[in-house]
Structure 1
Amino acid sequence: MNGIEFLASFLTAGELYGLRVGSTLDEVDRALSHRFVDVVGEGGAWLRRDYGLVEFAFNPEPNPGPGPGSEWVVAAVTVQLHRLASDDGLARSWARSTGVAFPRCTSWEELREELSRTHGVPELKVTDQGGFLQYRAAASHVSVIVVDDGDEERGDRVGHGDVWSLDLWLPFRAG
């Protein structure tokens, strides 16, 4: 699978390698064998796991089964495409460990074209985020962040019209 197909699937399904909001840390460990760095918030209030291209944010949830304490569950996932423009090794190592090959930069136009061939794409609502456009899919809880600054040129970073990141977020629960 190439990176554009992978992103279209993520945007449509709201899951990454079978992982979604509510997946456990153990499930993430089984799904991904790529190197990572963990950062734990003060007092264990949160955990961020950074795989270079993908970051997971976890919140502690009470353990429903027998045994002590709580377990980490996914609250958000971000695919940090902008990191690929300045790090050739990141794309190569990600392709080796996951089988998904990404280009250095992905344009919104390329992703939109792939979405036009993808079944079940949710409706996207666009909002201006000051230098970025956010295309938000409420049905899948995924947002695409696109660079919207005519002065930004591709080079060692993404440029105008390129996808900065995709974010999967925890849906709001009225309570």
Structure 2
Amino acid sequence: MTGVSFLASFLATGRLHGIGIGSALADVDRAFRHPFVDVVGDEGDWLRRDYGLVEFAFNPGADWVLATATVQLHRLASDDDLAAAWARSTGIEFPRYVSWEELWDEVSRAHDAPELRIRDQGGFLEYRALRSNVSVLVVDDEDEERGRRVGDGDVWSLDLWAPARPS
């Protein structure tokens, strides 16, 4: 699977390898077989699991329950080994950079393209898919060029958040 198709599916569905908001830590363990680092809050009130490219945050309960997920694409530009390690453990091959245009083209071709809300985030544009609750941060700075960092028009990250509860 290509990294762009993996990201397009995430943007359209809000799920990574079947994992979504409310999934248990054991579900994440089964879906992702890649080295990780766990960080637990001082009070044991949260857990963050960092796989290098993907991070999950969990809330406690009878089991740790997924609260957010982030794909940190910007890390690929500065870490030559990250994409290769990810491909070996997951079979997903990521390019060093992913442009918003390339990602949206894949979403539009392969999925029912979600409605987007677009907001300026000071140096970034946020494209939020209303149906999936996935936000895509895209670098919005003509002076940013590709190199050890992502450039103008490139995806910085994709973030999944729990839907807002009605008041």
Q: For the superposition of Structure 1 and Structure 2, which TM-score range results when normalised by the shorter chain?
A: over 0.9
Give the gaps of 5 or more residues in structure 1: 62-69
Give the gaps of 5 or more residues in structure 2: none
Question: Who is 2:79 aligned against?
Answer: 87
Question: Who is 1:77 aligned against?
Answer: 69
Question: Who is 1:49 aligned against?
Answer: 49
Question: Who is 1:166 aligned against?
Answer: 158
Question: Who is 1:110 aligned against?
Answer: 102
- Give the TM-score of the pair, scaled to structure 1: 0.93
For each residue in 1:85-138, what CA deviation from the matched residue of structure 2 results, as whole angstroms up to 9, or x when unmatched? Answer: 011110000001111000001011111211220221210111000000000011
**Percent of residue pairs bearing the same amino acid type:** 68
Q: Does residue 133 in structure 1 map to residue 143 in structure 2? A: no
Query: Distance in 1 between the 2:97 and 2:71 partners?
Result: 13
Query: Distance in 2 between the 1:85 and 1:119 partners?
Result: 27
What SS does the corresponding residue of 1:42 show, helix, strand or coil?
coil
Q: CA-atom RMSD, angstroms?
A: 0.9
Question: Who is 1:99 aligned against?
Answer: 91
Deviating above 3 A after TM superposition, structure 1's stretches of 4 or more consecutive aligned residues are none
Question: Who is 1:2 aligned against?
Answer: 2
Query: Distance in 1 between the 2:130 and 2:64 partners?
Result: 24
Question: Who is 1:21 aligned against?
Answer: 21
Contact 2:22-2:66 within 8 A present in 1 as well: yes
Q: Of the two, which has the highest radius of gyration?
A: 1
User: How many residues get paired?
Assistant: 167
Contact 1:11-1:121 within 8 A present in 2 as well: no
What amino acid does structure 1 have at the position aligned with 2:119?
T
